[in-house]
């Protein structure tokens, strides 16, 4: 445990940031609805966020090499904190969209700095423990922070001030808790064409998951609010979906280590589609029914990215783990940019349940593609299948933290 102790300030800062980011996504939807913003407008804000996030993933390493870790982190945190306060000072959909774009860029950069720093400091024998801690912090922070909304309310200044304070406080452990000055990471090689050749199915899967997961995270508070849930029920609904995915993905991942991953991917996608249809046709406005079904939906929907990535890594050459997962992160971002915009247009025209009709439609198309690819290409032999890894979609750097090849924590981008 002593070898992990120097990383605790970074993990603490990560928890604060993850919580603040998750809180902001839900609050934007709730406060926007209270201010009379249409579902399409709120969806466009989600698209703006993921557009900024994509650009942040691409350009942040250049900033880090120019000014270093601490200055990069400080500048991005200051911008994100100021943007959070601007949200409540200027209540205008155009301004909010612009702020969400900048916020997406900032959070992509903040998570890249954080995960690069962790990667440079962690020893190989500690990687599993650090990843486990990071995952626990992720789930605990994102779900726990949601419940600040019913405590302080979504309609005043206080909750925005708290979000700004959270982002600002993340500077404290980073500035005071680590005296190292690690070398800025090399750019992650982004060879989308190569990764497409490795596994078209995984690339399409990540686009599909980006569309549905981003639509859910952006618009599920709007869905819950429009069917009559209280603020407390809304944040509970969102949190249950996230927790469901965190719990079930490990059994699904283990199953995919034993079977053809495409079969598990098919079963999981069918499960997500059926859960989405159940939310449309069976849940109605019942709070308990919606809670139960969104848990099932999250259980199948959230692991699809990691399952798709595991399938691609089985087909990749040795040493391409980081390259593959960085590219798949971008494919996910492409889908995430379009998902909220399209889903919100359906919601505005056909009502709140059409959020899950949209998700079910995307899953149905992906199911057809999986079946086609299973006929077009033989399964990966069991001897070539690696072990499933649950991946976070926080930055293109995250894959470096999960390497299992015994390489040094300061390995090259090609590893």
Sign of the torsion formed by the C-alpha atoms of 150, 22, 145 and 16: negative
What tokens does 241 get?
């979906």
Residue 175 has pLDDT above 50, yes or no: yes
Residue 125's pLDDT is 65
Average pLDDT (351-374) is 95
What tokens does 88 get?
């409540």
Report the C-alpha gap between 183 and 168 in whole angstroms. Answer: 24
Q: Are 23 and 235 in contact (CB under 8 A)?
A: no
Burial class (CB in 10 A: 0-12, 13-18, 19+), 378: exposed
Residue 411's pLDDT is 32
Residue 184 has pLDDT above 70, yes or no: no
Average pLDDT (322-345) is 90
Average pLDDT (89-96) is 94
- The residue with greater pLDDT, 355 or 122, is 355
Question: How sure is the predictor about 406, in pLDDT bands with cuts at 50, 70 and 90?
Answer: very low
Q: Are 223 and 381 in contact (CB under 8 A)?
A: no
Question: How sure is the predictor about 405, in pLDDT bands with cuts at 50, 70 and 90?
Answer: very low
Helices (H) and strands (E) in the chain, counts: 17, 0
Residue 2's pLDDT is 52
Residue 183's pLDDT is 64
Span of 45-49, 169-173, 270-274, 363-367 with lowest mean pLDDT: 169-173
Please give the full DSSP string across 252-319, using - where no structure is assigned.
Answer: HHHHHHHS-HHHHHHHHHHHHHHHHHHHHHT-TT-HHHHHHHHHHHHHHHTTHHHHHHHHHHHHSPTT
Report the C-alpha gap between 385 and 375 in whole angstroms. Answer: 19
Burial 340-369 (b: 16+ CB within 10 A, else e): bbbbbbbbbeeebbbbbbbbbbbbeebbee
The average confidence (pLDDT) of the chain is: 85
Span of 6-15, 134-143, 275-284 with lowest mean pLDDT: 6-15
Question: How sure is the predictor about 186, in pLDDT bands with cuts at 50, 70 and 90?
Answer: low
Residue 264 burial (CB count, 10 A): 22
Q: Are 57 and 348 in contact (CB under 8 A)?
A: no
What tokens does 400 get?
């470096």
Residue among 312, 308, 105, 358 nearest 207 (CA):
308
| 304-326 confidence digits (pLDDT tens) | 988 888 888 888 777 777 778 88
Residue 218's pLDDT is 93
| 4-19 confidence digits (pLDDT tens) | 676 777 788 888 888 8
Question: How sure is the predictor about 179, in pLDDT bands with cuts at 50, 70 and 90?
Answer: low
Residue 68's pLDDT is 81
Q: Are 91 and 378 in contact (CB under 8 A)?
A: no
Residue 186 — φ and ψ, nearest 5°? -70, 155
- The residue with greater pLDDT, 407 or 232, is 232
Question: How sure is the predictor about 408, in pLDDT bands with cuts at 50, 70 and 90?
Answer: very low
Residue 135 has pLDDT above 90, yes or no: no
Sign of the torsion formed by the C-alpha atoms of 164, 166, 171 and 176: positive
Residue 57's pLDDT is 86
The Cα-based distances of 268 to 228, 255, 273, 317, 355 in angstroms read 30, 11, 9, 26, 19
Indicate the DSSP class of residue 4: T
Residue 116's pLDDT is 79
Q: Are 273 and 364 in contact (CB under 8 A)?
A: yes
Residue 188's pLDDT is 63
Report the C-alpha gap between 210 and 366 in whole angstroms. Answer: 12
| 48-74 confidence digits (pLDDT tens) | 999 999 998 888 888 888 888 888 888
The rounded percent of the chain whose pLDDT value lies above 70 is: 88
């Amino acid at each position: 445990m002593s070898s992990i102790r120097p990383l605790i300030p970074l993990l603490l800062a990560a928890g604060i940031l993850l919580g603040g980011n998750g809180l902001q996504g839900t609050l934007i939807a709730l406060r926007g609805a209270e201010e009379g913003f249409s579902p399409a407008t709120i969806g466009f804000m989600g698209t703006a966020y993921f557009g900024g996030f994509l650009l942040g993933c691409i350009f942040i390493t250049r900033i880090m090499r120019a000014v270093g870790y601490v200055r990069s982190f400080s500048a991005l945190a200051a911008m994100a904190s100021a943007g959070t306060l601007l949200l409540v000072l200027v209540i205008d959909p155009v301004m909010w969209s612009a702020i969400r774009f900048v916020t997406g860029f900032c959070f992509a950069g903040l998570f890249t700095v954080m995960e690069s720093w962790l990667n440079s400091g962690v020893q190989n024998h500690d990687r599993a423990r650090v990843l486990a801690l990071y995952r626990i912090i992720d789930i605990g922070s994102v779900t726990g922070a949601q419940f600040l909304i019913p405590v302080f309310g979504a309609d005043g200044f206080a909750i925005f001030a708290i979000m700004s304070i959270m982002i600002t406080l993340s500077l404290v452990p980073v500035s005071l808790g680590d005296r190292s000055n690690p070398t800025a990471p090399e750019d992650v090689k982004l060879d989308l064409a190569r990764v497409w050749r490795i596994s078209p199915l995984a690339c399409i899967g990540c686009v599909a998951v980006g569309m549905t997961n981003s639509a859910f995270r952006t618009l599920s508070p709007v869905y819950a609010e429009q069917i009559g849930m209280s603020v407390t029920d809304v944040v509970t609904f969102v949190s249950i979906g996230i927790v469901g995915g965190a719990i079930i993905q490990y059994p699904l991942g283990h199953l995919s280590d034993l079977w053809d991953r495409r079969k598990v991917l098919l079963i999981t996608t069918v499960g997500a589609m059926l859960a989405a249809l159940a939310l449309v046709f069976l849940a109605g406005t019942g709070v308990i029914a919606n809670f139960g079904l969104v848990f099932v939906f999250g259980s199948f929907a959230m692991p699809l990215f990691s399952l798709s990535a595991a399938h691609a890594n089985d087909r990749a050459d040795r040493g391409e783990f980081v390259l593959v997962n960085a590219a798949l992160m971008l494919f996910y971002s492409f889908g995430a940019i379009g998902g909220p915009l399209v889903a919100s247009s359906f919601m505005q025209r056909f009502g709140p349940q059409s959020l899950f009709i949209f998700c079910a439609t995307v899953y149905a198309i992906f199911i057809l593609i999986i079946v086609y690819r299973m006929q077009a290409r033989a399964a990966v032999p069991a001897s070539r299948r690696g072990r499933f890894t649950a991946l976070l979609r926080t930055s293109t750097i995250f894959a470096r933290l999960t390497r299992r090849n015994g390489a040094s924590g300061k390995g090259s981008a090609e590893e």
